[in-house]
Amino acid sequence: MSDALRISLIHATPLAMAPIEAAFREAWPEAEILSLLDEGLSVDRAKDAALTPDLAARIVSLARYAEGTGPAGILYTCSAFGEAIEEAARTSPLPVLKPNEAMFEEAFGHGPRVAMIYTFPAAVEGMAEEFREEAARRNSGAGLTTVFAEGAREALAGGDAETHNRL
């Protein structure tokens, strides 16, 4: 067996898999990553304004499944499930991270005006609330402006990463 740390990545869309796996290869090539996908999560999340109890239960169940694969930690790769990911973290013996934690940490280091470009409307309100909570926890006056990159997600789904990134 390898001495590399295994990290379980939990994806809600296949669109997230290639970019995140590429980032791991570049930033932490010695990590052994295991990708788990429930592509219905993002489809079902887009149908409701709020995270439903059924979707939250699926998010937690995926953490339980991932724990059984022997990882050192779990990283969810979709930001539209914040409260459910927090529940998974509270009930797991492993480190469980949301994808936006590192992003917010970095953002607070760049000043009080932060812009967040998003491509999945179901994720924005939860992420904005998490940003406000983190700003309050830090006693920061940082403010967040959100901008929707219309058509970017569809471009990526169509295999056009260049247009996605440009938008």
pLDDT at 113 over 50: yes
Residue 34 belongs to a domain: yes
Number of structural domains (the chain) is: 2
- Whether residues 45 and 13 share a domain: the answer is yes
Residue 2: the pLDDT is: 59
Could you tell me how many residues make up the chain?
Answer: 167
- Whether residues 47 and 66 share a domain: the answer is yes
Share of the chain above pLDDT 70, in %: 99
Summarize pLDDT for 74-93 with one digit per residue, the tens.
999 998 999 999 999 999 99
Q: Are 122 and 51 in contact (CB under 8 A)?
A: no
Burial bucket for residue 166 (CB in 10 Å: 0-12, 13-18, 19+): exposed
- Whether residues 42 and 58 share a domain: the answer is yes
Mean pLDDT of all residues in 113-123: 92
Amino acid at 139: N
Which of 63, 98, 133 is at the close of a domain?
98
Give the model's confidence band at 1: pLDDT under 50 very low, under 70 low, under 90 confident, else very high. Answer: very low
Which of 98, 128, 154 is at the close of a domain?
98
The mean predicted confidence, pLDDT, of the chain is 93
- Whether residues 138 and 56 share a domain: the answer is no
- Whether residues 24 and 61 share a domain: the answer is yes
- Whether residues 120 and 92 share a domain: the answer is no
Amino acid at 150: E
Residue 73 belongs to a domain: yes
CA distances from 70 to 11, 21, 23, 67, 119 (A): 18, 18, 21, 6, 32
Residue 101: the pLDDT is: 85
Residue 72 belongs to a domain: yes
In sequence order, what are the beta bridge partners of 143?
113
- Whether residues 94 and 108 share a domain: the answer is no
Summarize pLDDT for 9-68 with one digit per residue, the tens.
999 999 999 999 999 999 999 999 999 999 999 999 999 888 999 999 999 999 999 999
- Whether residues 94 and 106 share a domain: the answer is no
Residue 32: the pLDDT is: 97
Please count the CA atoms within 13 angstroms of the CA of 163 that sit on its side-chain side.
Answer: 11
- Whether residues 94 and 144 share a domain: the answer is no
Pick the closest to residue 99 from 69, 70, 120 (CA basis).
120
Which of 52, 80, 98 is at the close of a domain?
98
Q: Are 107 and 42 in contact (CB under 8 A)?
A: no
Residue 1 belongs to a domain: no
- Whether residues 27 and 108 share a domain: the answer is no
- Whether residues 118 and 47 share a domain: the answer is no
Q: Which domain range does residue 29 map to? A: 6-98
Residue 94 belongs to domain with CATH number: 3.40.50.1860
CA distances from 2 to 6, 30, 31, 32 (A): 9, 10, 10, 9
